Structure 1
Amino acid sequence: MTHRHHRWPRIAAVCAALTLVAACGTSSGDDKDAKDGGFKAPDLPQLEKLGDPEGEVSILAWPGYVEDGSTDPAVDWVSDFEKDSGCEVSVKYFGTSDEAVTLMKTGEYDVVSASGDASLRLIAAGDVEPVNTDLIPNYADLYPFLKDRDWNSVDGQMYGVPHGYGANLLMYRTDVVDPAPTSWGAVFDEDSPYSGKVTAYDSPIYIADAALYLMKHEPDLGIENPYSLDDDQLDAAVDLLKKQRGLISEYWADYLKEVQAFTTGDSVIGTTWQVIANVAQGEDVPVDVVLPEEGATGWSDTWMVSEKSEHKTCAYLWMDHIISPEANAAVSEYFGEAPANPKACDIATEGHCETYDAGDEDFADQIWYWTTPIEQCLDGREDVKCTDYGDWTQAWTEIKG
């Protein structure tokens, strides 16, 4: 396997260094799918049949999703794929969804692991094409609640295969935060005793966290989906986040920085992922996590095929491989998330899927997965235009000052 501009800034580096993440499985889908708000995807055909493998596949991925043993000899789900398929893998890692969207426009990559804050942008731009799941045998085994969702399908047509998923949880230092928090109010309350030591995820998609809080506490705003906000609803979320700004110690996008902030005590409460808590606890930092009473946002990543790909058979073979029980167990453990294939739980390290609540639909029903905000309201409203990701990006710049 060849690496393009190999980067390792994210959690796999943490896990490789500390060898802590021997568990994986977490939240799942919910029934809060946005109704079809009129979003129309470009008219692109799906692949009708597999051909002979083209001999290579270029993958654009989150770090930790495409491992060939070069980072850790014990972590390798690429070598067998290359041997069995005849498709040589090259990979470029990206650090943010915005970076992934930009890189996919170059047409240099055959397949991408897209989070929900990128997938609809890729679909709308015609950068990815519909996926024929009949050509992917392992697709049938995936959790049903991850299929045909707002972030991976349009009008019942899948645009990729689910990979893994997780929840954005509330982490706190148990030696400082007392009593234990039960609500996201702990990070939004202007009178918080932890002012100056609150942390939040550094991305426009974090606006949805504020919208979810308002959806539960200010019902008169009429928010039904935290990713479907009209101008007034977005203004309310932005106002809440501007007030929160005074509580913030730092915004984080790098796993290591959040672990360090909780280690030093610069941050004592804020948004996190289960795997970050695992790493911090492994370093004896007194932290715990909770899924607050309002529920939470989260992510479900999707493997998608470039419309410009010249190696589509290899791309499909990769998608089938990465959701196989063996590969899905390995990658979800290493990255720190729930697998999409329940059969992976039979192979993963004991306790892995329990730690991440894999397949737990009650837990999953409380999660609103990252979904790209678009002008067509995802909650089904047709009498108003909703704000899109560009609006959210501008708002996020204003929030951070």
Structure 2
Amino acid sequence: MQTKRLGVAFAALSLLALSACGGGDGSSTASGQGFKVPNIPAQKALGAGEGEVNIVNWAGYAEDGSNDKSVDWVHPFEKQTGCKVNSKVAGTSDEMVALMKTGEYDAVSASGDASLRLIAGGQVAPVNTALVPNYADVFAGLKNKPWNSIKGVAYGIPHGRGANLLMWRSDKVATAPDSWSAVFDQGSAYKGHVTAYDSPIYIADAALYLMSAKPDLGIKDPYALDQKQFDAAVALLKQQKANVGEYWSDYTKEVQAFKSGDSVIGTTWQVIANLVAAEKTKVGTVLPKEGATGWSDTWMVAAKAEHPNCAYKWLDWIVSPKVNAQVAEWFGEAPANSKACAETSDKSFCTTFHAADEAYFSKVHFWTTPIAQCLDGRTDAKCVDYAQWTRAWTEIKG
């Protein structure tokens, strides 16, 4: 892969729980995700562009050449469609939700924890995929997922995806690990040099490990934890804390930590591993045998978009093969469009990021927001919501 410096670190997850919409006027029947869905129709036809589009996005998703002159897919879009792009970079999912609530934006690149809140809150509308021709070429493994659809109705266009991997310094860790036990049960062997992702959602990583390490807990979904399961995950993380040298959310800091040897084993993204290796540091990565957590972003359209036609044009543009390839390489993630792989400058890029490997991604539990109604389908138990995950994370870190 080209080791061009990324435009951004992937921002931290939201600190607030999903606010469930109650019943009342405008709400449909229960969605299965634990809330009622506002009755908002999808756009039926595509009209002329309104001349501009206001978007909320992660940094690196709407590059206009200002960070790198060779990285620009905004100006070509403006020239082709006549829709001027007004981009607002958000640093967190909380900020994205807050900005969308203002009604000033037409589209947003939401992560799984924000997307459900936006749907439940009525800030976004279902997407008419027939108005987005390039949607046809999106990998099937990204369509109609719990974080971007409700009962088979699409609420956005998939942008890309990635897994949270286990990375280690191969010159300091004698035996290549194949399990998350290396950072949980065996972390003391690297005391002070274990690293972990700095977010309440990291509790899901512990829960995922416990799914196989302690099957008697009955965990089926790392984001659907009853109190007993949640307490077990928190206890594991408090145990791990004694061995953690640094919690990271800024990818540049993790690169430097592995380069210096301050960190020798822990959670990472493939792009970070590539950058560390480019620094002539010996590292290995693996998707552990237990699987992993990960992310998948979705472009969504505001329910009351002032510029809906330009918004739809942007959705189709950003997921088009050439542009989706540009974004994926710049940010460091698997593209959503299956035809994007033929457009990447590094012809091994999609292999490195497992873009077409559905067997690989079947082992990835994509981030979503824990809510009181258990996401694993249980009706006889109450699950711990994200507000409690946030409080517990503060306790874990001390």
Fold-level similarity (TM above 0.5): yes
Higher relative contact order (CA 8 A, sep 6+): 1
- 1:387 matched to which residue of 2? 384
Cα distance, 1:192 vs. partner?
A: 2.4
- Aligned to 2:190, the other structure's residue is in SS state coil
- Aligned to 2:245, the other structure's residue is in SS state strand
User: Which moved further from structure 2: 139-148 or 47-56?
Assistant: 47-56
Deviation per CA, 1:215-271, whole angstroms, max 9, x where unpaired?
111111111011111122111111111111111111111011111111111111110
- 1:186 matched to which residue of 2? 182
Structure-to-structure mapping, 1:1-400, within 5 angstroms: 14-15=5-6, 36-189=32-185, 192-349=188-345, 350-400=347-397
Question: For the Cα contact (< 8 Å) 1:37–1:379, is it kept in 2?
Answer: no
Question: For the Cα contact (< 8 Å) 1:190–1:244, is it kept in 2?
Answer: no
Cα distance, 1:191 vs. partner?
A: 5.5
**Aligned mates of 2:156, 2:279 — CA distance in 1:** 37
In structure 2, what residue type is equivalent to 1:348?
A: T
- Aligned to 2:67, the other structure's residue is in SS state coil
**Aligned mates of 2:229, 2:353 — CA distance in 1:** 32
Question: Unmatched 5+ residue regions in structure 2?
Answer: 9-30
In structure 1, what residue type is equivalent to 2:83?
A: C
User: Which moved further from structure 2: 324-333 or 386-395?
Assistant: 386-395
User: Which moved further from structure 2: 186-195 or 291-300?
Assistant: 186-195
**Aligned mates of 2:260, 2:187 — CA distance in 1:** 23
**Aligned mates of 2:388, 2:214 — CA distance in 1:** 22
**Aligned mates of 2:106, 2:75 — CA distance in 1:** 18
- Aligned to 1:171, the other structure's residue is in SS state strand
Cα distance, 1:13 vs. partner?
A: 8.3
- Aligned to 2:54, the other structure's residue is in SS state strand
- 1:9 matched to which residue of 2? none
Cα distance, 1:303 vs. partner?
A: 0.4
- 1:31 matched to which residue of 2? none
**Aligned mates of 1:165, 1:183 — CA distance in 2:** 22
In structure 2, what residue type is equivalent to 1:170?
A: L
Question: For the Cα contact (< 8 Å) 2:159–2:335, is it kept in 1?
Answer: yes
Question: For the Cα contact (< 8 Å) 1:200–1:252, is it kept in 2?
Answer: yes
**Aligned mates of 1:116, 1:183 — CA distance in 2:** 25
**Aligned mates of 1:76, 1:246 — CA distance in 2:** 45
Cα distance, 1:357 vs. partner?
A: 0.9
Cα distance, 1:38 vs. partner?
A: 4.3
Cα distance, 1:306 vs. partner?
A: 1.6
- Aligned to 1:119, the other structure's residue is in SS state helix
Cα distance, 1:86 vs. partner?
A: 0.9
CA 1:13 to 1:98, structure 2 compared with 1: closer, same or farther past 3 Å?
Answer: farther
- Aligned to 2:116, the other structure's residue is in SS state helix
Question: Unmatched 5+ residue regions in structure 1?
Answer: 1-11, 18-34
**Aligned mates of 1:136, 1:225 — CA distance in 2:** 32
**Aligned mates of 2:227, 2:76 — CA distance in 1:** 50
TM-score, structure 1 length as denominator? 0.90
In structure 2, what residue type is equivalent to 1:330?
A: Q
Cα distance, 1:97 vs. partner?
A: 2.0
In structure 1, what residue type is equivalent to 2:357?
A: D
Cα distance, 1:95 vs. partner?
A: 2.3
Question: For the Cα contact (< 8 Å) 2:373–2:383, is it kept in 1?
Answer: yes
- Aligned to 1:41, the other structure's residue is in SS state strand
**Aligned mates of 2:332, 2:187 — CA distance in 1:** 34
**Aligned mates of 1:190, 1:293 — CA distance in 2:** 16
Cα distance, 1:51 vs. partner?
A: 2.1
Cα distance, 1:149 vs. partner?
A: 0.4
Question: For the Cα contact (< 8 Å) 2:4–2:330, is it kept in 1?
Answer: no
In structure 1, what residue type is equivalent to 2:75?
A: S
Cα distance, 1:156 vs. partner?
A: 1.1
Alignment length (residue pairs): 373
**Aligned mates of 1:13, 1:232 — CA distance in 2:** 45
Cα distance, 1:82 vs. partner?
A: 0.5
User: Which moved further from structure 2: 272-281 or 88-97?
Assistant: 88-97
**Aligned mates of 2:122, 2:385 — CA distance in 1:** 17
In structure 1, what residue type is equivalent to 2:232?
A: A
TM-score, structure 2 length as denominator? 0.90
CA 1:37 to 1:78, structure 2 compared with 1: closer, same or farther past 3 Å?
Answer: closer
Deviation per CA, 1:110-136, whole angstroms, max 9, x where unpaired?
111111122112211222121111111
